[in-house]
Amino acid sequence: MAVLKAVIGVVEDDPALQELLVEELEAEGYQVDAWGSLEDFKSSNASPDLIVSDIRLPGESGLTLLEDLKQHDNPPALLLITAFGTVDQAVDALKKGADDFLTKPLDIEHLLLSVERILEHRSLQRELKRYKQQQKGPGGLVGQSPAMRKLYDQIEHIAPTGGSVLITGESGTGKELVAKALHELSDRSDKPFQAVNCAGIPADLMESEFFGHTAGAFTGAQNKRQGLLKQADGGTLLLDEIGEMPMALQAKLLRVLQEGTIRAVGSDKEEQVDVRILAATHQDLERLVEEGKFRQDLFYRLETFSLRVPPLRERGEDIERLANFFLQQQQKSSDKTVRGISAEALDLLYRYPFPGNVRELQNAIERAFAFSSDETLSVDDFPQRIVEKSDTSQPAATSAWPTLDEHQSQYIRKVLEHTGGNKSQAAQILGVTRRTLYRWLDNEAE
């Protein structure tokens, strides 16, 4: 039973052997194409998952495939067929990147097992590569918990729309990173990204900051100045803590969203701007609307697309991912060597509710790194408030994780499913002897 219904290319100039290879591989469920020379294979522009090629061929040698395959971003696997006289060449080919070689006369069962093993190995490599790529989400976001994968999916759907987005979430959850991800995945990614905290601008200067001003527009305005909306023209502007924006300025912002025009303070001329507005807040804007502190029409305009950034306490295993990520950041900027976080310290982090979310975790790791005198962060390195406020009455999330033995058992069962219960093939895929596989199965049954 084939592990993968892959596409295999056979390059063999012996018609009888070529026919045999095609028949045997097709009988295993593979899609097979065949050629009599490398020239014919290259001219076909085929892209198989695995190439089975004789070393000795008319024209170019099968060994030249290695150099050609290095030019591919995602090259196919290569299984070489060799006569005894060219075994040394085949061994050299393995060192240069070939996946396996077989000697003539061919043992078909050995060939099929080798093909299956190579394809399984390639599949695992792709999964590992995909896993590594997924350790960071869009915009540099870190995490693979269900809550974050849902957020990534929403970001990827919303980013290309070009519409305004309301990003909500508690303080410290990473709302600005979400905004950057939306910008990077949009068609504005090569244009400016501006971010401003509305709570950090004095109310009497806010209009000038956003819309700009002319020279002499007010006391101290000696020169003309572009506002943030104009600076972000063609790109994206993040309005962080938009709930702090005065009502009068909210009306002007609504006009920008509806008509795409701005008027600088002190000017009677309107200018066109093309800017995507992203708004972020930790406040309940609906409640502010009910209290008359936020314009209902602006809220509805912003809320067309909305994203909620989950708090850290809802992100489960991301706590360890983030902790290790922040530890690596500290390691890069220091000569100190800290290789990891102790199991007891991780247990502590899982029990702590992190009201300050990701930002608080980052600060905690930075502090622990500075105080650590060992190669592993320990409980004593973390702030006392985290130690005192950790909920010892609740089991840590790590206690629910499967053990290595459990992972091994699950993997063995999956391989056996792939082979239809054939233990010999399963042992070949696992890279162990049948005796070892039987011993594992016996231990599992006890």
Residues 6+ apart with CB under 8 A from 107: none
The average pLDDT across 221-250 equals: 89
Could you give the CA distance from residue 112 to residue 100 in angstroms, rounded to a whole number?
12
Q: Which of 192, 177, 184, 195 is nearest to 156 (CA)?
A: 184
Q: What is the mean pLDDT of the chain?
A: 85
Complete DSSP assignment for 68-95 = HHTT-SSPPEEEEEE-GGGHHHHHHHHH
Give the Cβ contact number of residue 103 at 10 Å: 16
Above pLDDT 70, what percent of the chain? Answer: 88
Give the pLDDT score at 394. 52
Could you give the CA distance from residue 278 to residue 259 in angstroms, rounded to a whole number?
16
Give the pLDDT score at 33. 94
Relative to beta strand 7-11, strand 50-54 is parallel
Q: What is the CATH number of domain 404-445?
A: 1.10.10
CB 186 within 8 A of CB 160: yes
Band (pLDDT 50/70/90 cuts) for residue 73 is low
Residue 285 has pLDDT above 70, yes or no: yes
The average pLDDT across 39-54 equals: 90
Give the pLDDT score at 393. 46
Give the pLDDT score at 413. 77
CA dihedral over 111, 112, 113, 114, signed as positive or negative: positive
Please determine whether the domains at 7-133 and 144-310 fall in the same fold group of CATH.
yes
- Residue 105, both tokens: 């006369």
Could you give the CA distance from residue 383 to residue 356 in angstroms, rounded to a whole number?
14
Could you give the CA distance from residue 40 to residue 35 in angstroms, rounded to a whole number?
6
What are the b/e assignments for 374-396, b being 16+ CB within 10 Å? Answer: eeebbbebbeeebeeebeeeeeb
- Give the CATH superfamily of 7-133: Response regulator (3.40.50.2300)
Give the Cβ contact number of residue 341 at 10 Å: 22
Could you give the CA distance from residue 97 to residue 424 in angstroms, rounded to a whole number?
27
Beta pairing partners, 281: 168
Q: What is the CATH number of domain 313-400?
A: 1.10.8.60
Give the pLDDT score at 61. 78
The average pLDDT across 47-65 equals: 86
Give the Cβ contact number of residue 117 at 10 Å: 19
Beta pairing partners, 307: 167
Give the pLDDT score at 280. 97
CB 278 within 8 A of CB 138: no
DSSP 429: H
Which range, of 82-96, 159-173, 358-372, averages the lowest pLDDT?
A: 82-96
Query: Which segments of 369-408 are extended strands (E)?
Result: 376-377
Indicate the pTM of the whole model: 0.59
Could you give the CA distance from residue 352 to residue 299 in angstroms, rounded to a whole number?
34
CB 370 within 8 A of CB 334: no
Complete DSSP assignment for 222-253 = -S-B--HHHHTTTSEEEEETGGGS-HHHHHHH
- Number of helices and strands in the chain (H, E): 19, 14
Give the Cβ contact number of residue 200 at 10 Å: 10
Residue 218 has pLDDT above 90, yes or no: no
Residues 6+ apart with CB under 8 A from 70: 97
Could you give the CA distance from residue 6 to residue 29 in angstroms, rounded to a whole number?
8
Task: Locate the domains of the chain by residue range.
Answer: 7-133, 144-310, 313-400, 404-445
The average pLDDT across 119-130 equals: 71
Residue 408 has pLDDT above 50, yes or no: yes
Give the chain's radius of gyration (CA, Å).
31
The average pLDDT across 15-36 equals: 92
Could you give the CA distance from residue 106 to residue 25 in angstroms, rounded to a whole number?
13
Band (pLDDT 50/70/90 cuts) for residue 178 is very high
CB 130 within 8 A of CB 286: no
Band (pLDDT 50/70/90 cuts) for residue 399 is very low
The average pLDDT across 45-58 equals: 89
> In CATH terms, is domain 144-310 a member of 3.40.50.300?
yes
CA dihedral over 319, 323, 324, 325, signed as positive or negative: positive
Q: Is the preceding peptide bond at 105 cis, omega within 30 degrees of 0?
A: yes
Could you give the CA distance from residue 411 to residue 336 in angstroms, rounded to a whole number?
38
Could you give the CA distance from residue 147 to residue 315 in angstroms, rounded to a whole number?
6
Band (pLDDT 50/70/90 cuts) for residue 398 is very low
Residues in the chain: 446
Band (pLDDT 50/70/90 cuts) for residue 299 is very high
